Amino acid sequence: MTSLCLTHRGIRISLLSFFLVLYATSCKNNTTETGEDPEITVEIDSTYHAMNPMDLIFDSIEQTMIDSGMADLMDAYRAIRAYGLSNSTPPAIQFNPLPYGFQIPEATPKIIWEIPEGISRPGWEVDLAFMSIPELASLIRSGEISCLALTEFFLNRLKKFDPQLHCVVTLTEEHAIEQAKKMDAELASGKDRGILHGIPFGAKDLFSFPGYPTTWGAGAYKEQVLDETAGIIKKLEEAGAILVAKTTLGALAMGDVWFADTTRNPWNLEEGSSGSSAGSASATAAGLLPFAIGTETWGSIVSPSTRCGTTGLRPTYGRVTRSGAMALSWSMDKVGPLCRSATDCAIVFDAIRGLDRTDKTLLDAGFTYPGEVVLSSLRIGYFKSAFDDDYEVSNFDKQTLKVLKKMGAQLIPVELDNDDLPYYAMSIILEAEAAAAFDELTRSNRDSLLVRQHRYAWPNKFRTARYITAVEYIQANRIRHDLIEDYYKRLKDFDVVVIPSFHGGNQLLATNLTGHPVVVVPNGFKDSGSPTSISFLGNLFDEGSILAVAAAYQEATSFNKKRPPSFNRTD
């Protein structure tokens, strides 16, 4: 058979080449002097070779009909592009993480968190930097420190140490000072917003906030200012918290390299902090912030928390508002806190969970935090085949299991992988959605402004994702349905499952596709000084159980209370 040939500016090309030409013209906005796309015409011959890379075979009559339909598709593509979609416009099709028969916990009011009494301001100022949220709240209530003084303290630490860590894109100093004065005035008048009243925090710089740049970590957007307060920042400020910094992220939420530098690991400045919630983890671990907000699509809370030794919570999909946040993957993006303890994560999570009228994906569900738990009363599983392997940090992970057993846990082996499911193939869901979210960036050729330009960087992934067909995207989501049901069956009889944070099959990608919650906590330190981590996986909408078990583990080990030496100074 002869191959299908197309004519573009008088040159005969195959259908695959046709799509490459289409990319180089329509996708990259190479227009004629009249502003119109160059004429592309189809010379019908045969589509056999063109379709063969996709393992599809059509007879000559079918090929002819396909060829005649190409012009209609091109008209549709041009009409869609002419509409001018922005990153903030979500698709009408929404992802639902609920398996058959799953019951969402009934909605509950916000928890009234106990603020301890008798906490004294430490003699060494550096000790203030590493105090917990309840301890800082106690100092504010007792008058040991004002909201303004605490805010200025953390602003000064950010200014002092950011040149080493490169963890801040923008300080929101003017706003923070004004907000801190307001919080002090409210307390003086008898108005108390709760445990977060007067507590400074940072937010990953993919959350919009009026008057300050929202750069998404990328050179193409470093001057971008969005006149919207992200839902997560609204909720935290309603709870009394004070935004002091917009923290770094790898460009468009990949890695730790952003448009100005590489964010550093405070435990080992030779290393990046990993990403993409790079600055949120780095600043919190170094005591530059009491806590910060990050996001995860495929490891962006788990990874920097592991590298920097923070405690990170990736909540259930649909738990926390994403309004005003950069969209990367509408069906996979999740928002969560990075703190220095599981209890602090529980406090922040309680403030940010719940409905937001500007995010239709949210599901209203209850949250209970049991605090102290008896591990022997819980069904705790562990990912046996993963722990049985030898890998770089396996000794730390196996020691974690020993500690949990000493604490009374009756560990039950469980397997999470299913050999019948093509896990990695489902990552095309993320890539297709990300390419759609940044369609304009690709077509305008502004993707060249991103620092990373290698094969696995976003610019090339966005380009190659244009060859993911709608059919394959939907097929991947159908397999995702089976994955959701499979994980539900494997996890539903457990309260918590202990898993290596990175090793062991496909759990990190799988649980991001299913939307399950995870808490990641430090569980040791390598010879290089860098932390290691362990993760606690929970059932959908049961953040309380994994947070409580993580808190108990931290109480028994105290890894989370260690401080990076370079940032534990009084000078």
Active site residues: 204, 276, 300
Cα(71)–Cα(63) distance, integer angstroms = 14
Do the beta carbons of residue 285 and residue 293 sit within 8 Å?
no
Alpha helix (H) residue ranges in 353-423: 384-388, 394-406
Q: Are 167 and 177 in contact (CB under 8 A)?
A: no
97 contacts: CB under 8 Å, gap ≥ 6? 316, 317, 318, 484, 514, 515, 540
Q: Which residues contact 173 (CB under 8 A, 6 or more apart)?
A: 155, 244
Return phi, psi of residue 395, to 5°. Answer: -65, -35
Quickly tell me which residue has 């067909």 as its tokens.
469
Q: Which residues contact 90 (CB under 8 A, 6 or more apart)?
A: 327, 330, 360, 361
**Contact, 154 vs 244, CB < 8 A?**
yes
Question: Which residue type is seen at 15?
Answer: L
Q: CA–CA separation, 369 vs 121, rounded Å?
A: 28
Which residue bears the tokens 């990403």?
Answer: 275
> In whole angstroms, what is the distance from residue 288 CA to residue 3 CA?
62
If we measure between CA atoms, which residue out of 1, 5, 70, 2 comes closest to residue 44?
A: 5
Q: Tokens standing for 69?
A: 């339909």
Please write down the long-range contacts of 186-195, taking CB distance under 8 Å and 24 or more positions apart: 186/240, 187/140, 187/141, 187/147, 192/141, 192/240, 193/238, 193/239, 193/240, 194/110, 194/112, 194/113, 194/239, 194/240, 194/351, 195/113, 195/115, 195/133, 195/134, 195/137, 195/347
Distance CA 428, CA 448 (A): 22
Task: Give the integer Cα–Cα distance in Å for 546 and 342.
Answer: 9
Encoding tokens for residue 58? Answer: 């059509």
DSSP per position, 58-80: --HHHHHHHHHHHHHHHHHHHHH
Query: CA 553, CA 498: separation in Å to the nearest integer?
Result: 12
